[in-house]
Structure 1
Amino acid sequence: MPEPGRRRAAPSKGDLREAKLLEVLEELLAVKSFDALTTNDIAERAGLSRASMYFYFSSKQEALVALFAKTVEALHEKSRAAADDPAAPRDAIATALRRTRERWHEHGLIMRVAIDQSSAIPELGALWMETADIFIAAIATILVRAGVPDEEGPDGARAIAGALCWMIERTFYHASAVSPAALDQASETCRVVWLRAAGIRP
């Protein structure tokens, strides 16, 4: 935190170039598959030489990991906020899904690409598992508050939360590739399933 009365330092030229490279990568993925994309494509679109890009990222894979990390950082924050939400479980569920849906609306393409590449790029898989673990913990917290037993076993809150998390991930993954309207509908379906799992009438 900056000291009171002192201005936060402006981003350096290097920070701005790195941010530009990530922005360009996201733009290019909208028109070109990751496998077909080259580091030269990214550098040229960003107005840099390939050698200059290597100063920031050694490969397109490293750039994708950085972009995905930036994307899921907000999901981590929103999931932790869901666990701490003092609202009634019904409202907490609606808020958690709304926030998650918004992230998929904004960056669904990046999340789909990262999920698709996670078997080839272990860092992506690790980031996504970390994200899932945080979301599962939040779901479990809300389920327990709704009366689901906080115990081990297939009918315990943690196990049910895990099933809900991966259901939501797959549902949002497919719907986000179709249209915003499909994602909205998928989010509503996930809300109903989560409510029923929590023993709350939709």
Structure 2
Amino acid sequence: MNELRVVQPRQARSRATMERILVAVEELLAEKPFDQITIAEISARAESAPTAIYARFSDKTALLLAVHERFKKRNLDKIFESLGERAELPPREFLAFAAGELVRVYRDNHRLLRSVLLADNATMYARVHDLGCAILSVITQRVSPPPERERDLDFAVRTALALLQQRLLFGAQAPTRFDYDDDELTERITRLLADACGPAVAGHAGARDRRHVAERTPASG
């Protein structure tokens, strides 16, 4: 496998070209999946020659890597900043806010994030791993679960990310019997995280969430 290469621009003109290329990819991702986007389309949208693209990126995967890095700085870093600003919220409300932000970001950037999951690239996998560790760290610092609950919380964060990633891969086709809209998914992820933190966080709010979820679930039989 060829090594991914992204040449960082040094001059203003080169930075402007790089910006046009990345913006072009983002615009095209709003229209179609990444694997259907061609270098010719990117070139036309960015008003840059294909040679300008290949001079900066070794291949399309390297280009995807750069677009994802741009997304990370603009979206994920902003989420963690927002979480830091809400550190004074009660633990349960903090978890609900974190869950809602994750659901929103995965929904609004589904084509890019789906492409990252399908890239089969070590750098992309490392970024997904780093995201999980960062979320776990932020929640642990804010909620301070007892030591015996840290493994449960780790599993809950992994499960929440797996649910969101599964949603990316399957799209509108639910992989099991039920589909979940954004509100219910946020509620369920919040409850998952709160239950993992222990009774002090789950408490009566957990019972309330279970009632809300039960109201959404059709009776069987």
Shorter-normalised TM range: 0.7 to 0.9
In the alignment, what sits opposite 1:156? 149
Kindly indicate whether residue 67 of structure 2 is the aligned counterpart of residue 75 of structure 1: no
Q: Compute the displacement of 1:63 (Å).
A: 0.9
Equivalents in 2 of 1:83, 1:17: separation in Å? 34
- 1:101/1:183 contact within 8 Å kept: yes
- 1:98/1:187 contact within 8 Å kept: yes
1:36-74, CA deviations, whole angstroms, 9 ceiling, x for partnerless residues?
A: 443333222322211111233232111100111122233
Matches within 5 A, 1:4-83: 12-73=12-73, 74-79=75-80, 81-82=82-83
Higher RCO, 1 vs 2 (CA within 8 Å, ≥6 residues apart) = 2
Q: How many residues align?
A: 181
Q: Write out the 4+ residue segments of structure 1 that deviate beyond 4 Å after TM superposition.
A: 30-33
1:86-115, CA deviations, whole angstroms, 9 ceiling, x for partnerless residues?
A: 221011112212222232232122112101
The CA RMSD measured in Å over matched residues stands at: 2.7
Q: TM-score, normalised by structure 1?
A: 0.75
* Residue aligned with 1:90, SS: helix
Q: Compute the displacement of 1:32 (Å).
A: 4.5
In the alignment, what sits opposite 1:166? 158
- Name structure 1 gaps, 5 residues minimum: 1-10
Equivalents in 2 of 1:81, 1:113: separation in Å? 26
Equivalents in 2 of 1:16, 1:103: separation in Å? 27
- Name structure 2 gaps, 5 residues minimum: 1-10, 174-179, 207-221
Equivalents in 2 of 1:149, 1:137: separation in Å? 14
In the alignment, what sits opposite 1:178? 172
Percent identity (aligned):
17
Q: TM-score, normalised by structure 2?
A: 0.69
